Amino acid sequence: DSGVTQTPKHLITATGQRVTLRCSPRSGDLSVYWYQQSLDQGLQFLIQYYNGEERAKGNILERFSAQQFPDLHSELNLSSLELGDSALYFCASSVGHGGTDTQYFGPGTRLTVL
Amino acid sequence: GQSLEQPSEVTAVEGAIVQINCTYQTSGFYGLSWYQQHDGGAPTFLSYNALDGLEETGRFSSFLSRSDSYGYLLLQELQMKDSASYFCAVRGMDSNYQLIWGAGTKLIIKP
């Protein structure tokens, strides 16, 4: 158990809908990262927040947005969902905002868009 | 830009030794990490190399050669539970020091 929690574990929805994925980092970690992993693929970095502020952006679509709240939990919002958005979405956390920081991953949310 | 290459699949026998290679291309290299991911599970951190040489942690070792832009993960005394995908990931200036991940190597272990 990494100490990072994600809800929900599974989500099934229809095209065009909007969903929100939630992540709580490990106690004491200030950074939260969001990743997308499609079937049998590597991880695609989406976005990072550090202590409430956006720190870095990866290949995040305009239909996707995220935020980190004062209690450091984070939410990833996915809207106008398409079939291709079906994937595992992981949240990770680390103490700092880069460098040698080890990232600890949550169990993931499996999103299925029908 | 940044890129990483690692074999898509490696097969080995229980009790043996296996090496998973990773070559990378990036500017402003800032470290090579290895993560393990079991099917349906979350990636878990295995090792990190910022400097040339070998880092050993139990049955697992990781090696880095910055001049060759190359690293490998060595797994010894393979156990069935080591069957998983292994990802190398690199931090570099190109990605604003975010981790860029390889596509992963699926390790299949046979009894």
- pLDDT(A99) > 70: no
Per-residue pLDDT, averaged over A10-30, amounts to: 97
Burial of B8 (0-12, 13-18, 19+ CB in 10 A): exposed
d(CA B103, CA B111): 26
Per-residue pLDDT, averaged over A49-71, amounts to: 93
- In this prediction, residue A111 has a pLDDT band, given cuts at 50, 70 and 90, of very high
Cβ contact (<8 Å) for B44 and A48?
A: no
Cβ contact (<8 Å) for A106 and B99?
A: no
Cβ contact (<8 Å) for B45 and A103?
A: yes
Which of the residues B9, B24, B98 would you substitute to probe the A interface, choosing the one with the greatest number of A C-beta atoms within 10 Å?
A: B98
Give the one of B48, B89, B96 whose C-beta lies nearest to A100's C-beta: B48
Which of the residues A2, A5, A23, A102 would you substitute to probe the B interface, choosing the one with the greatest number of B C-beta atoms within 10 Å?
A: A102
d(CA A38, CA B51): 32
C-alpha count within 13 angstroms, C-beta hemisphere, residue B84: 19
In three-state form (DSSP H/G/I as H, E/B as E, the rest C), the secondary structure along chain B is CCEEECCCEEEEECCCCEEEEEEEECCCCCCEEEEEECCCCCCEEEEEECCCEEEEECCEEEEEECCCCEEEEEECCCCHHHCEEEEEEEECHHHCCCEEECCCEEEEEEC
- CB contacts of B50 in chain A (<8 Å) are 100
Question: Would you give per-residue pLDDT tens digits along chain B (111 residues)?
Answer: 678 999 999 999 999 999 999 999 887 778 899 999 999 899 999 999 989 999 998 999 999 999 999 999 999 999 999 999 999 998 876 666 678 889 999 999 999
Give A105 to chain B, closest Cα distance, Å.
6
Q: Which residues, including other chains, have CB under 8 Å from residue B53's CB and lie 6 or more apart? A: B63, B64
> Is B24 in contact with B32 (CB distance < 8 Å)?
yes
d(CA B19, CA B13): 12
Give A56 to chain B, closest Cα distance, Å.
7
Q: Is A38 on the interface with B (CB under 8 A)?
A: no
CA dihedral A104, B68, B3, A68 (to 10 degrees): 30
